[in-house]
Amino acid sequence: MYDRRSFLGAGVAGAVFAALSPRMAFAKAETDKRFVFIIQRGAADGLGIVAPVGDPAFVGARGDLATDFASAPKLDSMFALHPAMTSVKALYGQKQALVAHAVASPYRDRSHFDGQNVLESGGTGAYQLKDGWMNRLLGILPPTQAKAIAVSATVPLALRGAHDVSSYAPSSLPQASDDLMQRVSMLYEGDSQLHALWSEAMGTRALTGDLAAGGGANAAATGALAARLMAPANGARIAMIETGGWDTHTGQRGRLSAQLKGLDAMIGALQTGLGPLWSDTLVLVATEFGRTVAVNGTGGTDHGTGSSAMLLGGAVRGGRVLADWPGLAPAALFEGRDLKPTLQLDAFIGGAVAGHFGVEPAKAMAALFPSSRGTAAVAGLV
């Protein structure tokens, strides 16, 4: 197994090659079912993804950000889906997509780092737990040769812990210049073995770039890669995909649309790549916290609280929005500015995972979210 330490002192080309080479060290879980967690780093605006168009305060509260929903496809009498999400809309129509709205983790401040730590560790406070809820999930599933994998630059906190996992992405070494990449490509061009390895590494580097890049092409390729890693009989059963770019402080309308187009392409590619396995697949999409209801002076939104989350896949009891809607009137907002959370994200995740893998809900909650004592898992999601 290659790691960064193996290449220290080997020169610039060796260091770059180490940075881009896949690293494999497999985890175990006995199941034929697949589970994918797509994390939205940066605090995705749930109101801009699934909009409460039936709320009388929506248009006035959201201003220009409400424009895209004037003719957006409705999910029910209250909610409409952003028009960029065509694949998700089709899944919703097939009852393979479920939205949870006004949802949040136990975290109530507005730091990305702290919020992501709570989301991934499964604690009730930042840095309370040292391992991640996905890694702890591996411990309550019967062991086999199945694998857990992260499609990310490093193994994210959610997958860190006592159980080994693999990652398939560049390491966290500093980004090399395009000129250096071109020179190394030329150096390896005449070597059939190194050229093939380098080409694979360069492809992985491209896949882990901007979610919105290439009109969603990179995101689709990432989804296809995850499907290829999960589809074989000896492939991964549990995966995490990192996405960034959700911190829309300025120019949100165009930026969010591009992000959602990429996310939609990623989900569509996952479905296509998994083929018949999609019927036994559960995909979770969630973010660390939401954004403010009001638009700021630069056409964006600031860090908020409540957001939305999604479950997708053939295993989902979909075609519905799960929400105890608090409303967007000024008096209904959390701290006078944010969507008020009325659903606990840990209970939502715990219920989905327990139902999908056939684990007793209380056992799943105790393992995945040990600090959330007394919190009951949401039932009936899958």
DSSP characters for 220-251?
HHHHHHHHHHHSSTTSEEEEEEEE-----SSS
Task: Convert the pLDDT of each residue in 274-287 to its tens digit.
Answer: 999 999 999 999 99
Take residue 297 and report the two structure tokens written for it: 């002076």
The answer to whether residue 173 scores a pLDDT higher than 60 is no
Average pLDDT, integer, range 108-119 = 95
The answer to whether residue 316 scores a pLDDT higher than 70 is yes
Angle at the Cα of 358 from the Cα atoms of 271 and 344, rounded to 5 degrees: 80
Range name among 9-13, 149-153, 264-268, 371-375 with the lowest pLDDT average: 9-13
Task: Convert the pLDDT of each residue in 209-233 to its tens digit.
Answer: 467 777 788 899 999 999 999 999 8
Specify the higher pLDDT residue, 204 or 71: 71
| Residue 24: predicted pLDDT | 35
| Residue 180: predicted pLDDT | 59
| Residue 335: predicted pLDDT | 97
| Residue 31: predicted pLDDT | 56
Question: So where are the chain's domains?
Answer: 1-27+171-196, 31-170+208-368
Q: Are 329 and 348 in contact (CB under 8 A)?
A: no
Specify the higher pLDDT residue, 10 or 204: 204
Range name among 6-10, 268-272, 333-337 with the lowest pLDDT average: 6-10
In the Cβ-directed half-sphere of 157, how many Cα atoms lie within 13 Å? 19
Q: Are strands 50-51 and 80-81 parallel, antiparallel or unpaired?
A: antiparallel
CB atoms within 10 A of CB 378: 22
| Residue 6: predicted pLDDT | 30
What's the predicted TM-score (pTM) here? 0.83
Category of 376 on φ-ψ map: left (φ > 0), alpha (ψ -120 to 50) or beta: beta
The answer to whether residue 29 scores a pLDDT higher than 50 is no
Residues 49, 280: Cα–Cα separation, whole Å: 25
| Residue 174: predicted pLDDT | 47
Task: Please identify which residue in the block is written with the tokens 């009001």.
Answer: 294
Q: CATH assignment of 31-170+208-368?
A: 3.40.720
What confidence tier does 143 reach under pLDDT thresholds 50, 70, 90? Answer: confident
Q: CB-based contacts of 314: which residues, under 8 Å, 6+ apart?
A: 96, 278, 279, 280, 281
Average pLDDT, integer, range 344-362 = 96
Residues 161, 240: Cα–Cα separation, whole Å: 14
The answer to whether residue 263 scores a pLDDT higher than 80 is yes
| Residue 211: predicted pLDDT | 78
- Mean pLDDT over each residue of the chain, to the nearest integer: 86
Category of 246 on φ-ψ map: left (φ > 0), alpha (ψ -120 to 50) or beta: alpha
Q: What is the DSSP string of 299-345?
A: S---B-S-EEEEEESTT---SEEE------SGGGSBTTTBPPP-EEH
| Residue 207: predicted pLDDT | 39
Return the SS3 of 373. coil
Q: Are 69 and 53 in contact (CB under 8 A)?
A: yes
Residues 102, 100: Cα–Cα separation, whole Å: 7
